[in-house]
Amino acid sequence: MRIAITQRLDREEEEKPFEVTYYLNNYYKEIFDKLDILLIPVISENRLEEVCSLCEGLILTGSSNDVHPKYYNEEPIKEKTYDRFDEYPFVKKAVEVFNKANKPILGICAGIQELNVIFGGTLNQLIPNHSLKKYNIDRHKIEIKKDSFLYKVYHTENMEVNTYHSQSVKEVAPNFTVTAISSDGVIEAIENGNIVGVQWHPEALKDIKFFDKFFKTFVK
């Protein structure tokens, strides 16, 4: 099996101010090596149709770059700045290509936010108590909807996930269902057929069961 995966972006502000780095966390390599799935890195809008024809699905890894509110017709709030770089147009095109081919799409962290905006939803630009702390990765409880893909993975309505984000889904995109929510009301997962978005990072939890179940369920 071959799965396309978008790369995370970062910029070395001090040492290399003009260079942008595309990278993938080592967690993905460890998990997908065990699953014997070949990951195909994607960093460009060019020839996405060809990439799609080669792959059975798409993973949006998310990034530290928040989706600009102009994409859901809102103005930036004063507490937020959007001045790094904009990968949304690339991600949107990749999602459109794979969705048109009816191939499964998995959005992780910022990936769920990108999916929600792409399909017509909006975001909370800033939420408290869910951001990554430098030396202490917090966890919080979520409640899982029983009739959902997530429930089929974990067979429980309650579990703990990690906390990495400062934005979240606000108005859910049409045709998507909320399938997990945190104890403080933040939307943690949305689903629409073979498109699933989760707000946490299952790869950082080394949750091989989650990825295995996703592709066994949705890859035809």
Active site residues: 109, 201, 203
The three-point CA angle 203-206-208 to 5° equals: 90
Find where tokens 């972006």 sit. Answer: 9
CA distance 201 to 97: 24
- Token readout for 108 is 């992780």
Report in angstroms the alpha-carbon separations of 46 from 30, 51, 52, 94, 120.
28, 9, 11, 10, 24
